[in-house]
Structure 1
Amino acid sequence: MKLYNLKDKKEIVNFSEAVKYGLGKNQGLFFPKKLPIFSQKKIQKLLNKKFISRSQEILSILIGSEIKKKKIKDSVQSAFNFSGPKIVNITNNIYCMELFHGPTLAFKDYGARFMAQILSCLNNQENKSITILTATSGDTGAAVAHAFYKMKNVKVIILYPKGKISKIQKKLFCTLGKNITTISVNGSFDECQKLVKQAFHDQEIRKNTQLNSANSINVSRLFAQICYFFEIFYLLPENLQNKLVISIPCGNFGNLTAGLLAKSMGLPIKKFILATNSNNTVPRYLETGIWNPYKTISTISNAMDISQPNNWPRVEEIFYEKKWNIKDLKYGYVSENETKKNIKNLYMKYKYISEPHASIAYTVLKKKLKIDEHGIFLGTAHPIKFQNTVEQILNIKLKIKQNISNILHLKNLSYNIEPNFKILKKILLKN
């Protein structure tokens, strides 16, 4: 597979290079030059397979011959070795696709674990030490930390906004130690993300460290996420697959990008709905045509507290390449009160326990879904990760799984810094 840099289309790399570099020149995102397009007959054959074997085939076709098929198969087998996606019927035409049954209880387990396996495979060939630098608004940190934990020749540094992620989110990745370094930043996620971009742009850091990022800017994460959009069609009865609308809670827009890539490969998704919280840069842009990020607001849906989403240029590139009309992309944003109201409604009316991100996707889906359509909203994190919020809204006690109980007493091993690049640079060069 060949990919080009969205900021410098003359820079062409293969998949392995795109995974290792993370970003191209001028911090440009890599984008596939050509995607395979599956016929409906081929899609049906794929849908006759189980999740792991289907994912192995999709990713083998996507990546091509530069990585041996067996290596890709082994990577997928190791990455997805947990309970796969589940679909829960909410109303007569609305379903939730639960993607949070992995080791860190979030959809990001799929992308982070596949990336870790592929990087390990490439790294073993070269026997070089690499540094993974990433920012998290909540769930990426845990998924990345657990995916790379104790991995040979890999150091991981994770930045997160201090006081703006939940207790369980923090316990899942700030207590590991070993090759995982966690840093709380006195600022927003956007400031954390800015520090990461500055590091990738700094020539001294690039020269002295083998730097990579595990955010959804890395194509290996995006490609892994394509796989569970195919799983939707496997899990849904055939009569519900026509006129299928998928609502996605959007933060950095990696999930929407992966879904659009799946559609562009031939998966018959009718349309997507992007749902955000009050950090609504993209909905306002689609309404007005003006890109005007506001200062990031802290909300109970903290993984979506992002005002400058990294993956948006990829979304626009897909629409441009496929000659689709971006006005067909439905959207909406949801206030804190409405988010809480629909967490309560889902529980009171349908006995379904949701968390803030899924509630936002459900809220916008309910508003936009037509009577003859079937809708799916993505459940991207387990409600227990937002225990205090959900318990307060629903006035109930959530059951805590044993593996979560085991980490609650562990010590936080994080450093704390100001959002100052010079401080981060010293840490990176020292590591």
Structure 2
Amino acid sequence: MKLYNLKNHTEQVNFETAIKLGLGEKQGLFFPVKLPTIKPQELSKMLKMDFITRSTEILSKFISHEISKEKLYEYVKKAFSFQYPLKVDIKKDISCFELFHGPTLAFKDFGARFMAQMIQSFKKNNELFTILTATSGDTGAAVAHAFYGMKNVRVIILYPKGKISDLQEKLFCTLGGNIKTISINGSFDDCQKLVKEAFDDKKLKESIGLNSANSINISRLLAQICYYFEAFSLISKKQQKKLVISVPCGNFGNLTAGLLAKSLGLPIKSFIACTNSNDTVPRFLKSGKWKPKKTISTISNAMDISQPNNWTRIEELFHRKSWNLKELRFGSVSDDTTIETLQELFKLGYESEPHAAIAYRLLKDQLKPGEFGLFLGTAHPAKFKNTVEKILKNNILLPKSLKNRINSPLLSHNINPNFSKLKKFLIEE
């Protein structure tokens, strides 16, 4: 698999190099030179396969030249060794596709665990890696647990202080060992900026074997393609013909993966790009002007991102496929409407959380007669226990993985969003 740098098309690398580098020159994201496709007859066969076998087939379309299908099957099996996604019917024409049944109760488990398997498969015996990543809530836990205890791999996770839920923080800031966490006195965008500055420092990058596990890493995106095929396989043929998928968006990696699934040949009619009040993309799609505003804190904190990295990949994909961006549905939802929607879902018998509620609201508002809608459930409501309980006035039971962490002490460091301070930490810790 060859990939090119979106900021310098002459920089081309293979899959292994793209995983190890994370970012290309000038902080450019990597994107496939060739976009594979699946013919309808082959797709029909694939949809009848089990999740692991089908996922192996999908991923082999991209990386079979570097990893044999037999080895890839074993890596996929290890990465996705937890309960698969579930479809839960909400109304006659709307269902939730729950992606939060992994070890850290979020959809990020798929990408993070597959990336960990890929790093391990390509890593030389004594090769040292420093995984540096920023999180707005769920990525941190998924990455931390995926790499926890891995030899010669050090993980450093940046997150905005006071702007993720207490239980999100407990899941990854209590591990210790090879997992280091730093709360940053700022926003997620500040954290992301620090990560990019670290990658721009060539000497630092080489000396500590710097890599990133954000959705900027192509291995994570490829893994996420797989569950869109699973979703498609779980609905009726009638529903498949007019499927609309509503995606809660932060850094836009999840939507990028869905669009890559469509590019492969999965006949999804439409996607809805859903944001909270950090609505850079909806405003851009409406006006054609890219004008990020200062990030504001909301109850859907994992979506509190004003400058989403993966949007450039989406634009590139639309350009390559000659798709029209005007066909992408979109919208933003305020906190007040999110609260109303959580209460509405609860009355329908479904206990949700803010991010999925936003996706449900926009799906409900934009679904056309005859269409079938899936909205993605990206995190377990228990991760936002205090917020959800206050809104629903209902006690949420903690899953075992959260119960085991709730009384553990936080091991985080704290710094201002200053690159020199981060650099010192990366070199000395």
The answer on whether the counterparts of 1:276 and 1:332 sit within 8 Å (CA) in structure 2 is yes
In the TM superposition, residue 234 of structure 1 has moved relative to its aligned partner by 1.2
SS at match of 2:91: coil
Q: How does 1:54-93 map to 2 (within 5 A)?
A: 54-93=54-93
In the TM superposition, residue 392 of structure 1 has moved relative to its aligned partner by 0.5
* 1:195 counterpart letter in structure 2: L
Residue aligning to 2:107: 107
The answer on whether the counterparts of 2:104 and 2:401 sit within 8 Å (CA) in structure 1 is no
Residue aligning to 1:249: 248
The answer on whether the counterparts of 1:365 and 1:377 sit within 8 Å (CA) in structure 2 is yes
In the TM superposition, residue 166 of structure 1 has moved relative to its aligned partner by 0.5
In the TM superposition, residue 204 of structure 1 has moved relative to its aligned partner by 2.3
Write the distance in 1 (CA, Å) between the matches of 2:149 and 2:400.
22
Residue aligning to 1:14: 14
Q: How does 1:146-185 map to 2 (within 5 A)?
A: 146-185=145-184
Write the distance in 1 (CA, Å) between the matches of 2:322 and 2:165.
41
Q: How does 1:19-30 map to 2 (within 5 A)?
A: 19-30=19-30
The answer on whether the counterparts of 2:131 and 2:155 sit within 8 Å (CA) in structure 1 is yes
In the TM superposition, residue 56 of structure 1 has moved relative to its aligned partner by 1.2
Q: Name which of structure 1's ranges 189-198 and 62-71 shifts more when overlaid on structure 2.
A: 62-71
In the TM superposition, residue 126 of structure 1 has moved relative to its aligned partner by 5.2
Residue aligning to 1:383: 381
Residue aligning to 1:260: 259
Q: Name which of structure 1's ranges 103-112 and 72-81 shifts more when overlaid on structure 2.
A: 72-81
Residue aligning to 1:366: 364
Residue aligning to 1:339: 338
* 1:82 counterpart letter in structure 2: F
Write the distance in 1 (CA, Å) between the matches of 2:59 and 2:125.
22
Residue aligning to 1:97: 97
SS at match of 1:66: coil
Write the distance in 2 (CA, Å) between the matches of 1:292 and 1:173.
33
Write the distance in 2 (CA, Å) between the matches of 1:248 and 1:136.
18
In the TM superposition, residue 53 of structure 1 has moved relative to its aligned partner by 1.0
In the TM superposition, residue 73 of structure 1 has moved relative to its aligned partner by 1.3
Write the distance in 2 (CA, Å) between the matches of 1:226 and 1:134.
21
In the TM superposition, residue 58 of structure 1 has moved relative to its aligned partner by 1.1
Write the distance in 2 (CA, Å) between the matches of 1:229 and 1:406.
31
Any idea what the Cα deviations from partners look like across 1:193-234, whole Å, max 9, x if unmatched?
Answer: 000000000122123111000000000000000000000111
SS at match of 2:247: strand
Any idea what the Cα deviations from partners look like across 1:312-351, whole Å, max 9, x if unmatched?
Answer: 0000001000001000001000000000000000011x10
Residue aligning to 1:276: 275
* 1:60 counterpart letter in structure 2: S
Answering whether residue 410 of structure 2 is matched by residue 420 of structure 1, we say no
Write the distance in 1 (CA, Å) between the matches of 2:143 and 2:154.
11
Residue aligning to 2:197: 198
* 1:249 counterpart letter in structure 2: P
Residue aligning to 1:316: 315
SS at match of 1:116: helix
Q: Name which of structure 1's ranges 94-103 and 65-74 shifts more when overlaid on structure 2.
A: 65-74
Q: Name which of structure 1's ranges 105-114 and 41-50 shifts more when overlaid on structure 2.
A: 41-50
Residue aligning to 1:304: 303
In the TM superposition, residue 127 of structure 1 has moved relative to its aligned partner by 3.0
The answer on whether the counterparts of 1:166 and 1:385 sit within 8 Å (CA) in structure 2 is yes
Identity of aligned residues (%): 62
Q: 1:392 aligns with which of 372, 385, 390?
A: 390
Alignment: residue pair count = 429
Give ranges in structure 1 of 5+ residues lacking alignment.
none
Write the distance in 2 (CA, Å) between the matches of 1:49 and 1:35.
22
In the TM superposition, residue 13 of structure 1 has moved relative to its aligned partner by 0.6
Write the distance in 2 (CA, Å) between the matches of 1:218 and 1:48.
30
In the TM superposition, residue 405 of structure 1 has moved relative to its aligned partner by 1.3
The answer on whether the counterparts of 1:36 and 1:265 sit within 8 Å (CA) in structure 2 is yes
* 1:159 counterpart letter in structure 2: L
Write the distance in 1 (CA, Å) between the matches of 2:77 and 2:206.
34
* 2:135 counterpart letter in structure 1: T
Give TM-score scaled by structure 2 length: 0.99
The answer on whether the counterparts of 1:299 and 1:336 sit within 8 Å (CA) in structure 2 is yes
* 2:197 counterpart letter in structure 1: Q
Write the distance in 1 (CA, Å) between the matches of 2:274 and 2:400.
32
Answering whether residue 329 of structure 2 is matched by residue 330 of structure 1, we say yes
Write the distance in 1 (CA, Å) between the matches of 2:193 and 2:343.
36
Any idea what the Cα deviations from partners look like across 1:392-425, whole Å, max 9, x if unmatched?
Answer: 1110101112332121110000000000000000
The answer on whether the counterparts of 1:71 and 1:121 sit within 8 Å (CA) in structure 2 is no
In the TM superposition, residue 60 of structure 1 has moved relative to its aligned partner by 1.7
Give ranges in structure 2 of 5+ residues lacking alignment.
none
SS at match of 1:90: strand
Answering whether residue 26 of structure 2 is matched by residue 37 of structure 1, we say no
Residue aligning to 1:285: 284
SS at match of 2:164: coil
Write the distance in 2 (CA, Å) between the matches of 1:413 and 1:254.
28
Write the distance in 2 (CA, Å) between the matches of 1:149 and 1:11.
32
* 1:85 counterpart letter in structure 2: P
The answer on whether the counterparts of 1:72 and 1:118 sit within 8 Å (CA) in structure 2 is no
Write the distance in 2 (CA, Å) between the matches of 1:309 and 1:233.
27
Runs (4 or more) in structure 1 with deviation over 4 Å come to: none
Residue aligning to 1:47: 47
Write the distance in 2 (CA, Å) between the matches of 1:44 and 1:203.
47
Write the distance in 1 (CA, Å) between the matches of 2:205 and 2:223.
27
Residue aligning to 2:122: 122
Any idea what the Cα deviations from partners look like across 1:277-330, whole Å, max 9, x if unmatched?
Answer: 000000001111111100000000000000000000000001000001000001
SS at match of 1:396: coil
Any idea what the Cα deviations from partners look like across 1:375-404, whole Å, max 9, x if unmatched?
Answer: 010000000000011101110101112332
Q: Name which of structure 1's ranges 262-271 and 60-69 shifts more when overlaid on structure 2.
A: 60-69
Write the distance in 2 (CA, Å) between the matches of 1:406 and 1:213.
28
In the TM superposition, residue 72 of structure 1 has moved relative to its aligned partner by 1.4
